[in-house]
Chains A and B, each alone.
Chain A
C-alpha cells in the first residue's frame, strides 16, 4: 500500500511556525516535496518569500527518520492525515480565507452530502442556554444533521452532548492536537463523540498544546465545515461573534437564539438578530427552512403536573431562585416543598443549579 504517499506533505504540514500560505507556495513550486527536502540552502535563499528562519526550519528540522517514525505512529493512534491534495480533504475548505494545509482527523470526517450545523456559544452559559443547546442539538441530530462544534466548556459541550443524545453524529474541531483533550474535564465527551460515529478534527499536528491564538483560527474551520451556524448564547464581545462574522464571509447562514432582553448572556445574539441573522424559534421551524421535516411527530408535550407542582413551577424563572424564597412564597412545609422540587427535577422541569437554587428548565 502506498502508506507513505503523503509523508512529505505530513513533514511540510508539521513544520512549526510557517504559515499555511507559505506552505502552499512551497508545494506549488516543488510538486514533488522530496526535492524540497533535498534542496540546498543557496537555492532556497532565492525564494524571496522565505525568511532566514523559514529556511532554517525547512533544512534543519527533524531528521527524515524521525518524521517517518512520527508518520507511522499516526496509524497506531488511529489518526488520519489528509493534506490538501488528498481526495479526502474537504473541498469546502479550499475556498475560505487561509485554508489549512491539511487536516488531522481522529474518527471520521462529516459526510458532506448531508447537512452540517455548527452549534456554538459562550463557555459560561446559563441554564437557559444549556437547555436550548441540548434541545436543538438533540432535535437536529435526530433529524440526521451533523453537529459541529469546538468541545469547549458550556454551549459547545452541550451541543455535542445533545447531538449524541439525539442519536446523531457530532464533530469537534479543536485548537490543539487531536490527541489532546482540551479542556481535560471533557475526556468523557471526547470518547463519546468518537464512540458515536463522530470525529475530532484539527489542523494542528498531534501533540500540539492548546495555545490561545489557535482558537480564533479553528473557529474558521467550524464555520467552513458546516452549512449554517447556530449561536445559542453570546455576550456582547464574544468569540462566537467572530465565528459568525467568518461564517458570513464564507457565505453561510447564521441563526441566533433570542434570550431575555436584559440578559447579558444573550446580548451578542440580539446584536446578530438586529443585524439580520436568522432567529431561532424551534428546531422544527429551522428544519422547515431547510426543507426538512422532523422525523418524529410531536403531539405537543403536555405538562402533567399536579397543583402543588404547578404552583412551584409557576414561581420559578430563568434566574436561579432560592429555596428560602420559595418557602416563603408557597408557605409549604419544608419537606413537602422539597418533595415537589425533587419530583419536578425528576420530570426534568426544574434544575438545581447550585445547592438549593432552582431554575425553570423546560
Chain B
C-alpha cells in the first residue's frame, strides 16, 4: 500500500491542535494534489517539498499523489508542514517504513536545497503533544534548545532532509538533544536600581507598588527619569516560577520572540508601548488573533509612556484586562482567551509643556493644563492605585558629583528581597496581593486604628476623596504596613498612602 501518515501539530491562537499529514500514491497521470482546508502558504509547500526532496537526492515518484492534512475543518497556516509532508511522501513511496515514524511529531520548514528551517511556536506544541502522549519530536535544529525545555520527551534537532532520513532509518545514531543545564545568568541584566540617584520618593512608591501589585502613575517633567525607573521595575519583581516562566516562553515562542541561545524567559517581561500603537497590537488582533502587548507583558510590566498622548479609546480598552487579568477576543473564527496579568506602569507630563507647577517656566494656559489630564478618563485613573511625582533632577543628583555618604544606593536585589517578604506576608494573609483585594476584603483586612481613623475621616471630607479612592488608599496603606511588618495600619502608613492617592482632576491646575 502506497500510503503514509505522519503526525504534526498547529497553533490556533494559543491553542494547539494535532494534525495528521497523510500521503497517498496511486497509478494514473502524474499529479500532485493537496487538500485539507489549506491557506495559500501551505499550498506552496508542495513546490518546496518536491524540490527539496529532489535536491536531497530522493526521486520524486511519477505517480498520482494526494496529500491530506486532517482534521479538514481547521484552517492550516504557516510553513511548518513542509517537513511532515516530505516525510509522509517518503513513507508512502516506501523509503521509510511506517512504523519508524509512529508516535513522533514532525515540524519544520524546508528550503529548496533540503535544509530544515526554524519555525515559531514549537514550545507550546511540544508541551501539548506530550500531554497527548507523544514521546518524540523531530524539529529544526534551531528550535531544539527551546523544545528541550520540556523534560521527559525525546527531541531530535535536524538540519537537513537527508538528516531526517538517516535518523529515521537508524543510519544516524539517535541522540536526543541534551538540554545542558541552562546557564541562566549568562544573559545578565545590566539594569539595576542602584543606577538611579536621588528620586527617593519615587523609588519608595515603586517598591510599594510592586510589593502590593498596585498599578502606578509617574508624573513628571520631561527628562526626569520616568522611563529609566520604569525599565528597572522588572529587576525588582519576584522571579518567575518555572510554571510561569514556561507559560510566558510559550507565548513568546508563538510570536517568534525567543532568543535561540537562551530560549527560556526567566525574567518578568517588560513591554513598552508607544502611543501610536493600535488597538489590535495592544490587545491582540487579526482574523486569528495574534497575542498583543498586554499578553506579552503577562507576569511582568506594561509601560505606557506619555499616557496623555494615547488615544482615549486605547486607554479605555485596558480597563477590562486590568480588572480581569485576561483578555477575551472574539472573531469570526471563534473566541480566544489570552492571559494578561500585568502590572501597569504609566507616565505622563503634568501639562503639555511638562513644566507645571513651575509657573515661571510653564507656558501653558490654565485651560490647557486642565484639559491635559481630562484626556484620561476618571475610571482609568481610578485603576492606578499609586500616583507619584518624578522630579527633575538637580545637578548634584546626576551622579557626576560624589554621592553623599549617607545616601546608600540600594541594588535591585536588596529591594527585591523586601518585596518578596511582603508578597509572602500577603499571600499568607489572604492568598493574593493587596492590589487585587475586593471591597469586602478591604473591609475585613484593612482596619484602621482610632488615630488613623480620625485622620482618614478628616482627609475624606476635606480633600474630597471619592469612595473608590478611599478604598485605594486603604489597599496601599495595607501594603505599606506590610513593609514594616505591622499587622495594624498605623497613621503614618495611612498618611503615606494618602500622599500617593491618584491624580485628582478637580484640583488639577487650579
Q: Which residues of A contact B (CB under 8 A)?
A: 123-124, 126, 130, 153-154, 183, 185, 263-265, 319-320, 322-325, 327-328, 333-336, 338-339, 341-343, 345-346, 352-357
- B463 interfacial by beta-carbon distance below 8 Å: yes
A126 CA to B360 CA in the complex, in Å? 10
Knowing that A264-B360, A327-B201, A354-B389 are A-B contacts, what are 14 other residue pairs whose CB atoms are under 8 Å apart, sorted by A's residue number? A153-B367, A154-B366, A320-B357, A324-B391, A334-B201, A335-B496, A339-B491, A339-B496, A342-B495, A345-B462, A355-B389, A356-B391, A356-B499, A357-B389
Q: Closest A residue to B498 by CB, please name it.
A: A342
Contact indicator A334/B204 (Cβ below 8 Å): yes
Q: Which of B200, B387, B503 has the most CB of A within 10 A?
A: B200
The residue from A126, A264, A335, A353 contacting B480, defined by CB atoms under 8 A apart: A335
A362 to chain B, nearest CB (A): 15
Contact indicator B366/A346 (Cβ below 8 Å): no
Q: A346-B458, A355-B388, A355-B503 are in contact. Are A335 and B463 (CB under 8 A)?
A: no
Q: Which residues of B contact A (CB under 8 A)?
A: 198-202, 204, 219, 350, 356-360, 365-367, 370, 387-389, 391, 455, 458-459, 462-463, 480, 491-493, 495-496, 498-499, 503, 507-510
A354 CA to B204 CA in the complex, in Å? 19
A328 contacts across to B, CB distance below 8 A: 200
A173 CA to B219 CA in the complex, in Å? 37
Q: A185-B370, A323-B201, A345-B463 are in contact. Are A353 and B357 (CB under 8 A)?
A: yes
The residue from A124, A319, A338 contacting B496, defined by CB atoms under 8 A apart: A338
A126 contacts across to B, CB distance below 8 A: 359
Contact indicator A324/B219 (Cβ below 8 Å): no
Q: Which of A130, A185, A345, A355 has the most CB of B within 10 A?
A: A355
A339 contacts across to B, CB distance below 8 A: 455, 491-492, 495-496
Contact indicator B358/A355 (Cβ below 8 Å): no
A183 CA to B459 CA in the complex, in Å? 30
A315 to chain B, nearest CB (A): 15
A325 contacts across to B, CB distance below 8 A: 391
Q: A154-B366, A324-B199, A324-B200 are in contact. Are A338 and B495 (CB under 8 A)?
A: yes
5 A-B pairs with CB atoms under 8 Å apart are A324-B201, A338-B499, A342-B459, A345-B463, A354-B350
A123 CA to B369 CA in the complex, in Å? 12
A323 contacts across to B, CB distance below 8 A: 201, 389, 499
Q: Which of A264, A319, A335, A343 has the most CB of B within 10 A?
A: A335
Contact indicator A322/B359 (Cβ below 8 Å): no
Q: A356-B499, A357-B389 are in contact. Are A123 and B365 (CB under 8 A)?
A: yes
A345 CA to B464 CA in the complex, in Å? 13
Q: Closest B residue to A126 by CB, please name it.
A: B359
B350 contacts across to A, CB distance below 8 A: 354-355
Contact indicator B389/A338 (Cβ below 8 Å): no
Contact indicator B388/A346 (Cβ below 8 Å): no
B204 contacts across to A, CB distance below 8 A: 334
The residue from B365, B462, B493 contacting A335, defined by CB atoms under 8 A apart: B493
A327 CA to B198 CA in the complex, in Å? 11
A319 CA to B358 CA in the complex, in Å? 8
Q: Closest A residue to B393 by CB, please name it.
A: A324
A346 CA to B503 CA in the complex, in Å? 18
A158 to chain B, nearest CB (A): 9
B370 contacts across to A, CB distance below 8 A: 185
A320 contacts across to B, CB distance below 8 A: 357-358
A130 CA to B359 CA in the complex, in Å? 13
The residue from A324, A334, A356 contacting B198, defined by CB atoms under 8 A apart: A324
Q: Closest A residue to B366 by CB, please name it.
A: A153
A112 to chain B, nearest CB (A): 33
A346 CA to B457 CA in the complex, in Å? 11
Q: Closest B residue to A127 by CB, please name it.
A: B357
Q: Which of B357, B480, B491, B503 has the most CB of A within 10 A?
A: B357
A322 contacts across to B, CB distance below 8 A: 389, 391
Q: A338-B499, A345-B463 are in contact. Are A356 and B492 (CB under 8 A)?
A: no
Q: Closest A residue to B387 by CB, please name it.
A: A355
B398 to chain A, nearest CB (A): 14
Q: A123-B366, A334-B204 are in contact. Are A357 and B493 (CB under 8 A)?
A: no
A339 CA to B458 CA in the complex, in Å? 12
Q: Closest A residue to B508 by CB, please name it.
A: A354
Q: Closest A residue to B365 by CB, please name it.
A: A124
Q: Closest A residue to B480 by CB, please name it.
A: A335
Contact indicator B366/A333 (Cβ below 8 Å): no
Contact indicator A357/B357 (Cβ below 8 Å): yes
